[in-house]
């Protein structure tokens, strides 16, 4: 069985040319296995009796990325290059804008294959390259379970509206990715790039924000690390997932979001591993798949069909209206961004959440909701709260700058939610209180857990080590 046709899009009307190779421009799907774009490129190269060459453009102007993100990504790329070499496939990583890096190889390319990204700059890169390339350009969508356009032709209102549309197609797309053996090797094809065995040297040569440190004691990038964490989750935590996924004091979560963000693990592979796991009850597997597929792909749907997904104007009209009606309500406490980043508020629970985010690049999803709601309460306007939330989210989270991030911040302000009882500051937007945390989870144990993570950071040992 080949790659599903619904995953494949021809981006221009040009012909397949005579060339030295089929070129796979890797960008979103940063992995050597369970990668539909890569496997499609191999299959097409075999049909054309050509090798397949992989190219990755390392740009130091990636929007809002900093040292934390680059280190995690480069750790993963180094592993991916080694895995590709074991398949006799060469990978060239060069510094520069994607159009320029791909342009250096395009004249000898018979067919250009790329993966699919959903954010504004990812789509702009693909449009630019497909319009300027002299050969056919094909995009293959491999970082959602069900292709976005197959699910719906429009932005969906909520999980309840997209859920049946996704489930209608799950059986067709929740299948293992085919794996092809290249007919021709490309390891020694003669194209030079950056030495991924010298990551520190590469990072020193990048013009990037270095004020946010890497979090390698807690999270190391790479497909192998992603699968190791997945195995640990299935063995030790999946059986508690349905009951504990909203219990931040526990570790009964998979920590897969950074690896999904960088395409270091396939969501289809992940879904199949969970669906067929020998541990956990049906409720645990169903709850996890709901988050992985329905909730995550609702976020992708939102970004794909919403041009202003990172602006306050993207919020539902009812949410903007009710927040505007309460914009002049008195705020008991206001905090500037510096105080928030320093985790120096009067709220010990919020401070712990901010510390987890700042020090580890991750925050339990339940605390992310509380974290964002409090920023609304502590900001002079809802517009400023939105800007602050998204900026901090994208700066510190490893999985920031992602459809899940944009939809997650939007949810705090009413996106994909419904109107609730009206109250000061929030209007009809859902509110969360510290007392609610105290009723629903052991929030003091969470505070202590984060304090222990801080001590581990100093000692150089992360969770699960």
3-state class (DSSP) for residue 93: strand
Domain that holds residue 343: 312-459
Q: Decide if 400 is inside a domain.
A: yes
Domain boundary among 277, 305, 333: 305
Question: Cα separation of 101 and 28, whole Å?
Answer: 16
- Verify that 332 and 412 share a domain, yes or no: yes
pLDDT band at 76 (very low <50, low <70, confident <90, very high): very high
Cβ contact 186:92 at 8 Å? no
Q: ∠ at Cα 203 (201, 205), nearest 5°?
A: 75
Reported as a single tens digit per residue, the pLDDT across 247-296 is 999 999 999 999 999 999 999 999 999 999 999 999 999 999 999 999 99
Q: Decide if 50 is inside a domain.
A: yes
Q: Decide if 187 is inside a domain.
A: no
Give the total number of structural domains in the chain: 3
Domain boundary among 289, 305, 321: 305
Q: Return the pLDDT at 457.
A: 65
Mean pLDDT score across all residues of the chain:
96
- Verify that 171 and 89 share a domain, yes or no: no
Cβ contact 335:345 at 8 Å? yes
- Residue corresponding to tokens 């959903």: 118
pLDDT of 460 strictly over 60: no
Q: Return the pLDDT at 1.
A: 75
Share of the chain above pLDDT 70, in %: 98
- Verify that 137 and 150 share a domain, yes or no: no
Domain boundary among 305, 325, 346: 305
- Verify that 43 and 100 share a domain, yes or no: yes
Question: Cα separation of 71 and 87, whole Å?
Answer: 25
Give the CATH number, domain containing residue 259.
1.25.40.80
Reported as a single tens digit per residue, the pLDDT across 200-215 is 999 999 999 999 999 9
Phi and psi at residue 101, to the nearest 5°:
-65, -45
pLDDT of 456 strictly over 90: no
Q: Return the pLDDT at 384.
A: 98
Question: Cα separation of 80 and 58, whole Å?
Answer: 14
- Verify that 107 and 150 share a domain, yes or no: no
Q: What is the mean pLDDT of residues 381-396?
A: 98
Cβ contact 377:350 at 8 Å? no
- Verify that 61 and 123 share a domain, yes or no: yes
pLDDT of 459 strictly over 90: no
- Verify that 119 and 164 share a domain, yes or no: no
Q: What is the mean pLDDT of residues 401-430?
A: 98
- Verify that 162 and 239 share a domain, yes or no: yes
Q: Return the pLDDT at 454.
A: 81
Q: Return the pLDDT at 465.
A: 39
Q: Decide if 343 is inside a domain.
A: yes
Reported as a single tens digit per residue, the pLDDT across 116-165 is 999 999 999 999 999 999 999 999 999 999 999 999 999 999 999 999 99
- Residue corresponding to tokens 């995953």: 7
- Verify that 168 and 298 share a domain, yes or no: yes
Q: Decide if 218 is inside a domain.
A: no
Q: Decide if 202 is inside a domain.
A: no
Output the pTM of the full model.
0.96
Q: Return the pLDDT at 93.
A: 98
pLDDT band at 463 (very low <50, low <70, confident <90, very high): very low
Give the CATH number, domain containing residue 45.
3.40.50.620
pLDDT of 240 strictly over 60: yes
Q: Decide if 217 is inside a domain.
A: no
DSSP run (H or E) holding 113: strand 109-115
Q: What is the mean pLDDT of residues 30-49?
A: 98
Q: What is the mean pLDDT of residues 74-90?
A: 98
Phi and psi at residue 39, to the nearest 5°:
-65, -35
Q: Decide if 194 is inside a domain.
A: no
- Verify that 153 and 292 share a domain, yes or no: yes
Question: Which 3-state string (H, E, C) describes 278-340?
Answer: CCCCHHHHHHHHHHHHHHHHHHHHHHHHCCCCCCHHHCCHHHHHHHHHCCCCCCCCCCCHHHH
- Verify that 47 and 96 share a domain, yes or no: yes
- Verify that 159 and 131 share a domain, yes or no: no
């Amino acid at each position: 069985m080949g790659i599903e046709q619904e995953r494949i899009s021809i981006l221009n009307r040009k012909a397949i040319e005579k060339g030295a190779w089929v070129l796979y421009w890797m960008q979103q799907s940063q992995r050597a296995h369970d990668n539909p774009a890569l496997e499609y490129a191999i299959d097409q190269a075999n049909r054309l009796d050509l090798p397949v060459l992989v190219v990755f453009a390392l740009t130091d102007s990636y929007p809002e990325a900093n040292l934390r993100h680059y280190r995690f990504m480069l750790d993963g790329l180094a592993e991916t290059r080694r895995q590709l070499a074991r398949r006799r496939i060469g990978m060239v990583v060069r510094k520069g804008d994607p159009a320029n890096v791909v342009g250096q190889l395009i004249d000898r390319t018979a067919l250009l294959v790329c993966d699919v990204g959903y954010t504004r700059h990812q789509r702009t890169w693909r449009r630019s390259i497909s319009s300027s390339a002299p050969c056919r350009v094909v995009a293959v969508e491999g970082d959602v379970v069900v292709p976005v356009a197959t699910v719906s032709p429009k932005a969906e209102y909520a999980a309840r509206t997209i859920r049946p549309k996704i489930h209608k197609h799950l059986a067709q797309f929740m299948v293992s990715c085919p794996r092809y053996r290249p007919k021709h090797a490309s390891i020694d094809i003669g194209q030079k790039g950056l030495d991924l065995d010298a990551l520190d040297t590469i990072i020193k040569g990048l013009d990037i924000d270095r004020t946010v440190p890497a979090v390698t004691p807690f999270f190391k990038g790479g497909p192998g690390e992603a699968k190791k964490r997945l195995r640990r989750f299935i063995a030790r935590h999946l059986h508690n997932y349905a009951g504990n996924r909203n219990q931040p004091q526990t570790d009964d979560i998979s920590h897969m979001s950074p690896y999904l963000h960088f395409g270091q693990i396939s969501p289809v592979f992940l879904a199949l591993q969970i669906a067929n796991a020998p541990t956990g009850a049906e409720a645990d597997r169903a709850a996890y798949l709901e988050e992985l597929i329905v909730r995550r792909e609702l976020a992708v749907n939102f970004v794909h069909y919403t041009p202003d997904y990172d602006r306050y104007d993207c919020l539902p009209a009812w949410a903007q209206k009710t927040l505007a009606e309460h914009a002049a309500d008195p705020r008991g406490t206001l905090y500037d961004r510096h105080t928030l980043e320093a985790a120096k508020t009067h709220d010990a629970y919020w401070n712990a959440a901010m510390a987890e985010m700042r020090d580890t690049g991750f925050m339990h999803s339940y605390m992310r909701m509380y974290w964002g709601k409090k920023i609304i309460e502590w900001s002079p306007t809802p517009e400023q709260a939105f800007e602050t939330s998204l900026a901090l989210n994208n700066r510190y989270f490893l999985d920031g700058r992602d459809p899940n991030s944009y939809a997650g911040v939007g949810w705090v302000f009413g996106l994909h939610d419904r109107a609730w009882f009206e109250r000061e500051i929030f209007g009809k937007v859902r509110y969360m209180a510290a007392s609610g945390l105290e009723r629903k989870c052991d929030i003091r144990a969470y505070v202590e857990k984060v304090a222990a993570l801080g001590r581990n950071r100093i000692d150089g040992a992360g969770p699960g080590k």
